[in-house]
Structures are given as C-alpha cells and as structure tokens.
Amino acid sequence: MGEQPIFTTRAHVFQIDPNTKKNWVPASKQAVTVSYFYDVTRNSYRIISVDGAKVIINSTITPNMTFTKTSQKFGQWADSRANTVFGLGFSSEQQLTKFAEKFQEVKEAARLARDKSQEKIETSSNHSQESGCETPSSTQASSVNGTDDEKASCAGPADTHLKSENDKLKIALTQSAANVKKWEIELQTLRESNARLTAALQESAASVEQWKRQFSICRDENDRLRNKIDELEEQCSEINREKEKNTQLKRRIEELESELREKETAAERDNQNLEDKVRSLKTDIEESKYRQRHLKVELKSFLEVLDGKIDDLHDFRRGLSKLGSDN
C-alpha cells in the first residue's frame, strides 16, 4: 500500500534466455506498461510490469545496477536477485532516453537511501559508546547481563531509538515475509510462463524451420520465374526487333508502292502518248497508202499515155523511114 508509481511508459519486454545467456526471449506479445514504483515505508524503488494477470518484471533497483543502451530503441539491465537480464524495446529513441534517465535518477536515490541508512546505524553506535554502554567482551561474559542499576544507567535516548528502529525492522521483516510469499507465487507464475514461452519457442523454432523450407521453395520458384521472365523479356526484345523490321519493311513497301504508282502513272502517260502516236502513224500510213494508190493510178495513166506516145513515135519513125526510102 506504501508503493506509488513515479514514472510510467510502454515497451516490449524481453528476458535473456537462461540456457544460452545470449538470445532474447519475448516476455510480452505486445507493448505493455512498465512503471517505476517508490516504496515510502521501505524507501526503495522497483520496476514493475504486468501483462494481464502475469507479472513479467519485478526488479528492485540497487546502486550497483546499470542500465545500458544497446541500440537507438533498446536497453537492458541485469538483476542479480532475479538471476536474469531484462530488456526493453521502445517505439522511439526519446522514450528510451527518458527511461534511462529515470533509471539513473532512481539508482542515485537508492544509493542516497543506503548511505543514509548506514549513517543512522553509525550514529546509533556512536550514541551507545558515548553513554558508556560498551558491548561486553568475551572476558566479561560473566557480567553480560549486569545489575538492574547498570541496565538503568545504560538506558537512554540511544536505546529508545534502537528499539524504535528494531520495531520498524520487525515490521519490515513481516512485510518482507509477506512479499517473499507473494514473490514466490509470482516466481511460480513466471516459471509457468517461462515453460509456456519455452514450448512456444520450440513451436516457433519448428515453424521457423517450416518457413525456411517454404522460403527455400519460394526462392527456387522465384528464381525459376525470374529466369522465365528473362526469357520472356528476351522474346519480347526479339518481337520488338521483328516489329521494328516489319515497320521498316512496311515503310519500304509503301515507298515502293508509291514509286510504282508514280511509274504506273508515267507509264499510262507514255502509253497514251504512244497510242496517240500510233493512231497518228496509222493515219499517216492510210494517207500514204491512199497517195500510193492515187500515184499508181496516175502512173498507170501516165504509162498508158506514154505507151500511146511511144506508139505514135514508132509510127512516126516508120513514116519517116518509109519517106526516106521513097526519096
């Protein structure tokens, strides 16, 4: 009832593997509340964390403890009384820094409380010596108890203070016994939890092996698919090259078709010109044939006339010859 929380945060809790002393074992499945508690009666500090109904951290801070940051979001400390090492994983570096600063502050407060307690003991011892009530030595064993007068002479403020301190110690011892019983229950709970965690860890290890096998199968399948993708990409590259060739051929065909159309157009013009020339030549030939026929007719007429003239000349020659012979 005398404990009050003085600082609270949230973190994932881990404990060192008791077998390997190297690996971390999760103590909580998710982030849980982690608090510093101050016991006014005992003037002590504890770090406590509870996950549901299970106590996963119950660590009393002593001046000899050290909190170590092992990364930007993870820190740890060793508890020799619990025979373990606790680890906390925070969601941010700022939370880790605040927790570490609070740990150092509580550790210093625990050191001051210890020093103050030692000073009280030394002061009580000095008061006893000053009042003349020295502790009897082994040679004075026969007079250890002393007389009533001696006891009365030794009775004083120091004895009253020691009695008060003794009563407080008895109360603290009673509370400690109750706490020990409570801690034994918590320890049993932690052991059962540790057994469950061990079983879960073994199951997780088996699952990890299974996942490794599946991962290996998936990796092989991934490699096969990657090789298939490379082949398809190569085929796509060939297809793209063929498409480029086809595009070039198509452009060349279009160019040739255009040239062919131009040549056909030119050929049509040339054919038309040739046809016009042929028609003109046919016309010239017909005219020439007509002229030839006409010339033949005229030549025939001329030859007939010429034949008549020749006959006339022969007749005239014969007449001349006859006339010359007559003369």
Predicted confidence pLDDT, tens digits, the chain (327 residues)? 568 999 999 999 999 998 988 899 999 989 999 999 999 888 899 999 999 889 999 999 999 999 999 999 999 999 999 999 999 999 999 999 999 999 999 999 999 988 887 877 777 666 555 555 444 433 333 333 343 444 334 445 556 756 666 666 667 556 655 665 666 676 666 666 666 766 666 766 666 677 678 777 878 887 888 888 888 888 888 888 888 898 898 999 899 999 989 998 888 898 898 889 989 889 988 888 898 888 889 888 889 899 889 988 888 888 888 888 876
pTM equals 0.41
SS (H, E, C) the chain: CCEEEEEEEEEEEEEECCCCCCCEEECCCCCEEEEEEEECCCCEEEEEEEECCEEEEEEECCCCCCCEECCCCEEEEEECCCCEEEEEECCCHHHHHHHHHHHHHHHHHHHHHHHHHHHHHHHHHHHHHHCCCCCCCHHHHHHCCCCHHHHHHHCCHHHHHHHHHHHHHHHHHHHHHHHHHHHHHHHHHHHHHHHHHHHHHHHHHHHHHHHHHHHHHHHHHHHHHHHHHHHHHHHHHHHHHHHHHHHHHHHHHHHHHHHHHHHHHHHHHHHHHHHHHHHHHHHHHHHHHHHHHHHHHHHHHHHHHHHHHHHHHHHHHHHHHHHHHHC
